[in-house]
Structure 1
């Protein structure tokens, strides 16, 4: 096994920071939030298989999140495939989330904000597919981010999960030469390309439309007139359809408000811009209403969020 990271190498008080730094080195920058584990025993192992990186991660309950600022500083432009092997986890992206159990799969796009949360001890395999390798299917696969693929329900999906599990065993072993690695990667690629084609076309089209709407909204979060009518006009659909697409996220306005608050929180953590300036930039007329919204969302004032980092 190629052990890349083991928090037991440092004292318990240093382990969360050590893990965050190691994840940034082997993946990309992410914010790590521990859920009170006294020892925080976590491990990262694996290696390369051709152009793919296949890694196994095990650890205690914790959450990692990737923000817009982190993406701007480093983005490998990968699609991450998760195969949960033990425990449970919550994968979130584009205002959508799903809970995975052992045997389930899901994807995330490294180019958009996301989070991975494990409420219990877990073991997950992560396969990093470069976007260039997925070709014209990359956007369609990314549009299905944070969507659970039930590994035990469909025999074809069980076969795909077994194939990825086998790749994980190879990556954790003595390693493959370049030629064999490319052969295995060529075997995994069709499984990845077809993994999300097994739902009906109407559902796929609806999911893709919802993803485009969310992406458009994220790109225009600072625009004061962003709302159902503008989103509908940009996609040539009715406002009724827009409301339907955002229903599972609590509604259009609630989703936009939450995204703005998350973006404002990230700006507070990463800059020294005055609170009043941040409030105005994200659609709040005065610091008082901004502070009330923060307390409702985070249980903290903007200043406390900034101080907590």
Structure 2
């Protein structure tokens, strides 16, 4: 497991909001905090330190966060803050812009400039859920003048690099319990690459990114495309290359450089086999014929699954299912 977890229920009721205020002041740039629910506050946070980047999946009751010029003079970590909204709504006043954010919206704020994050004015107690990211300004290869164009804007986490970044952060939150501390630095490197590409795209500043960063980000986009299309028997290197407007030879070279020499076809096969293995071990799918599971993972013939499965795992799909379900009972 990576990260530390805070749950307000572990603290006495009368101390919960004060504790949360202290915790948030250590997590992000200090701000003035207030909440209509302070008397019986509820919040949860997981704090993931991925090298120089901090990620914090969070859920909390509606709260206001105001960072003033006075607080900036007292303390400024010189960071950009990224928020990915997953549930509820928040408003943001920052650098003269006012926007309201809902699920899969993103925003960026600058710790060196005042901001006001506000819950809805309806007095609701609906939970706010999302993922926060703190990244030192010096680590992004985009000039502060260009980044200012993004501050306080409502940006989409539904398409393009925004969707890839959002899905990565959601997956990181969901898998934190099974990740190891040794994974943290590598995950931080991947996240910095994704952030660099995401910052650059809306500013049309990809030329400022290092070639290695562009290549790693492109490989991540290709992997995500493959995962979403594993059901398609026509998922071949030429089809993948065409979907990303690159040559087949460049696609193969990317994979060799970014996946320790693993070929595109081998990676697709491994993903399909792992998906089929999970389905075969799922008690809820015990009545699903093996040929149906094979087709679900882009292998229209059960014999194709059987040969590849035995080669990878040493047993047939039927034998594996019997063993896995017997253990589950």
- Alignment of structure 1 residues 179-218 onto 2, 5 Å: 179-197=185-203
Aligned to 2:153: 147
Equivalent of residue 163 in structure 1, options 145, 163, 168 = 168
Aligned to 1:84: 85
Residue 4 of structure 1 deviates from its aligned partner by 4.3
User: Which secondary structure does the structure 2 equivalent of 1:146 belong to?
Assistant: coil
Aligned to 1:16: 17
**Do structure 1's residue 121 and structure 2's residue 147 form an aligned pair?**
no
Q: For the residues of structure 2 that align with 1:12 and 1:179, how far apart are their CA atoms?
A: 36
**Count of equivalent residues:** 198
Residue 143 of structure 1 deviates from its aligned partner by 3.3
Distance 1:4 1:67, change over 3 A: farther
* TM-score, structure 1 normalization: 0.57
Q: For the residues of structure 2 that align with 1:3 and 1:67, how far apart are their CA atoms?
A: 29
For the 8 Å contact 1:50–1:185, the answer to whether it is kept is no
Distance 1:179 1:157, change over 3 A: closer
The CA RMSD measured in Å over matched residues stands at 2.5
Q: For the residues of structure 2 that align with 1:92 and 1:13, how far apart are their CA atoms?
A: 30
Residue 125 of structure 1 deviates from its aligned partner by 0.4
Residue 80 of structure 1 deviates from its aligned partner by 0.7
Unpaired runs of 5+ residues, structure 2, are 121-125, 206-329
Q: For the residues of structure 1 that align with 2:203 and 2:21, how far apart are their CA atoms?
A: 35
Residue 195 of structure 1 deviates from its aligned partner by 4.7
Residue 13 of structure 1 deviates from its aligned partner by 2.5
For the 8 Å contact 1:35–1:62, the answer to whether it is kept is yes
For the 8 Å contact 1:32–1:64, the answer to whether it is kept is yes
Distance 1:148 1:186, change over 3 A: closer
For the 8 Å contact 2:165–2:195, the answer to whether it is kept is no
User: Which secondary structure does the structure 1 equivalent of 2:140 belong to?
Assistant: helix
Q: For the residues of structure 2 that align with 1:172 and 1:87, how far apart are their CA atoms?
A: 25
For the 8 Å contact 2:161–2:194, the answer to whether it is kept is no
Equivalent of residue 140 in structure 2, options 128, 134, 137 = 134
Residue 65 of structure 1 deviates from its aligned partner by 1.0
Residue 96 of structure 1 deviates from its aligned partner by 1.5
Unpaired runs of 5+ residues, structure 1, are 200-309
Residue 11 of structure 1 deviates from its aligned partner by 2.5
Aligned to 1:2: 3
Q: For the residues of structure 1 that align with 2:116 and 2:103, how far apart are their CA atoms?
A: 19
Aligned to 1:224: none
Q: For the residues of structure 2 that align with 1:83 and 1:18, how far apart are their CA atoms?
A: 23
Aligned to 2:48: 47
Q: Name which one, 1 or 2, has greater alpha-carbon Rg.
A: 2
Residue 53 of structure 1 deviates from its aligned partner by 0.6
After superposition, the C-alpha distances for 1:42-99 in whole angstroms (9 at most, x for unaligned) are: 1221211222111112111111111112111211111111101111111221231211
Distance 1:171 1:111, change over 3 A: farther
Q: For the residues of structure 2 that align with 1:15 and 1:37, how far apart are their CA atoms?
A: 8
Aligned to 2:31: 30
